[in-house]
A = this chain, B = another copy of it.
Amino acid sequence: MAHAAKQETSEDALFFNVKTPAAGLPICASVRRFKAGETIYVESDDARYCYQLISGVAKEFNTLEDGRRQVADFYNTGDLFGLSETRAQLHTAEAITDCTLRCYPRDTFMQTIAASPELSKFFLDTLMSRLHRARERMIMIGRMTAIERVVSFLLRLKEDQNGAREITIAMSRQDIADHLGLTIETVCRTLTELKKQGVIAMPSARLFSIIDAAQMDDLTGSGDAAIH
């Protein structure tokens, strides 16, 4: 729903990622469905499976004892998640929209990957790119102002949705705040401010339209990741 454009990918064409050859992975994977808001796994759970989103949107996050949350990442169709070097889950995962996902038994999965040079290469690339994203977020959270963070976030969503000017989001304001290291109020106020300045339009709370892309680039501190 949030990503209608991507739904065209048939379930059979999916493997690890939409971009990956559909060469079969000799792993019997079960398919499970989760409703919006349902928990997929909880931190410190025994990590018997890792998951691939067939459809829907999900998030991984951590929680401190007093309830402070940090959303590590959002996942879309094709994304793989729930893998760690330990045998325990390091995050809690939750479905944001209704989700369908493929569950790979962890050990078999890891062995299969390691045994194939192609899969290894692919998986290494995936991990490196994920690490890169995590670090981009570190500079965003650690060194950017509220406006810069929100704008960076919107620009990333824009890219995820093939650069379309219309952006549909599945996550709530609270999710965004917990992802950007802000409060829900600050996210709201910042969005309102961007709307006032005519940089974006907001037909509804979860639908944005980029009006002045050039100014948005300026607002990121001209270095979404760094110098170019």
User: Is A202 in the interface zone, CB < 8 Å from B?
Assistant: no
CA A131 to CA B136, docked complex, whole Å: 12
A58-75 residues with Cβ-Cβ distance < 8 A to B are: 62-66, 68-70, 72
Q: Identify the closest chain B residue to A115 (Cβ).
A: B117
- The 0/1 profile, CB within 8 Å of B marked 1, for residues 108-137 of chain A is 001001110110110111111111101101
The answer to whether A114 touches B113, judged by C-beta atoms less than 8 angstroms apart, is no
Alpha-carbon distance A10/B94, docked complex (angstroms): 46
Q: How many residues of A contact B (CB 8 A)?
A: 52
Taking CB atoms, residues of chain B closer than 8 Å to A110 are 121, 124
- Interface: A12 (CB within 8 A): no
Q: How far is the CB of A217 from chain B (nearest CB, A)?
A: 12
Among the listed stretches A21-29, A155-163, A167-175, A220-228, which one makes contact with chain B, having 4 or more residues with CB under 8 Å of it?
Answer: A220-228
Q: Which of B66, B113, B223 contacts A65 (CB 8 A)?
A: B223
CA distance A221 to B143 in the complex (A): 22
Question: B68, B70, B121, B143: which contacts A181 (Cβ < 8 A)?
Answer: B143
- A130-B131, A132-B90 as given contacts; A226 in contact with B62, CB under 8 Å: yes
Q: State whether the Cβ of A184 lies closer than 8 Å to any Cβ in chain B.
A: no
B223 to A70, Cβ gap below 8 A? no
Q: Which residue of B lies closest to A69 (CB)?
A: B143
Q: Known contacts A84-B132, A128-B85, A135-B90; decide if A181 and B223 are in contact (CB<8 Å).
A: no
Contact with B along A80-96 (1 / 0, CB 8 A): 00011100001100000
The residues of B that contact A134 with a CB separation of less than 8 Å are 131, 134-135, 138
* Given known A-B contacts A120-B114, A124-B114, A68 and B221 have beta carbons under 8 A apart: yes
